[in-house]
Structure 1
Amino acid sequence: RSALTKFKEDPTCMALLMDGTAALGLDLSFVNHVFLMEPIWDRSMEEQVISRAHRMGATRPINVETLAMRGTIEEQMLQLLQVCVDHIVRSISLRNISSNLADKTYALFAGL
């Protein structure tokens, strides 16, 4: 019996460990947690790995966690990435606020 079948059917089997080569083409739509043991920097590869669990047969939300060991370059890169994402989100929010304010100001003056 394959490890995947055992993981899917045996309630005492709580985890399945796979490397990147084993994940190709697998249907993991029955899982609800995916733990990436290190960051995947290639976004398309990360999406492919996650989509193994989030397929058309999936009925539950999929929780994805990316792990990085403390004190490593990966941790520093993830922190930097988070700073960049936060900056982008703030910029978009400020642009939306500015745009909404401009729209309201135009509407106010257009009504005069």
Structure 2
Amino acid sequence: DHMNKLTEDRSTLSKALEDDLAKLAESRSSIDVMVAGQVEKLAEGRDILKRALEADLSTVKGVIASQSEKLAEDRGQLSRALETDLEAVRGVVSDHMNKLAEDRSTLSKAL
């Protein structure tokens, strides 16, 4: 009788362990599905972020190129303006030098 009870308890324990193992396998399967879903969402999020960053980088590169072009144009205008001013100064200096030479010549003749 005691032997039957042990066998019965053992069978009950085996059944409970098998049920628990089945539940664990089921839970693990659910967890695996959830983890796979989260990994997929993370990959999608990374892809969206990558595209957004690439678009931002492209915009920044465009702005830099535009600013560089504008700076080059402004530098060219400034160079031309400075060259024009320098020519005007050279003309004024030359005129003054000629005037001084004339005045000196006139003074020499007068003396």
**TM-score normalised by the chain length of structure 2:** 0.36
**Structure with greater helix percent:** 2
Report which of the two has the higher share of strand. 1
The structure whose RCO (Cα within 8 Å, separation 6+) is larger is 1
**TM-score between both structures, scaled by the size of structure 1:** 0.36
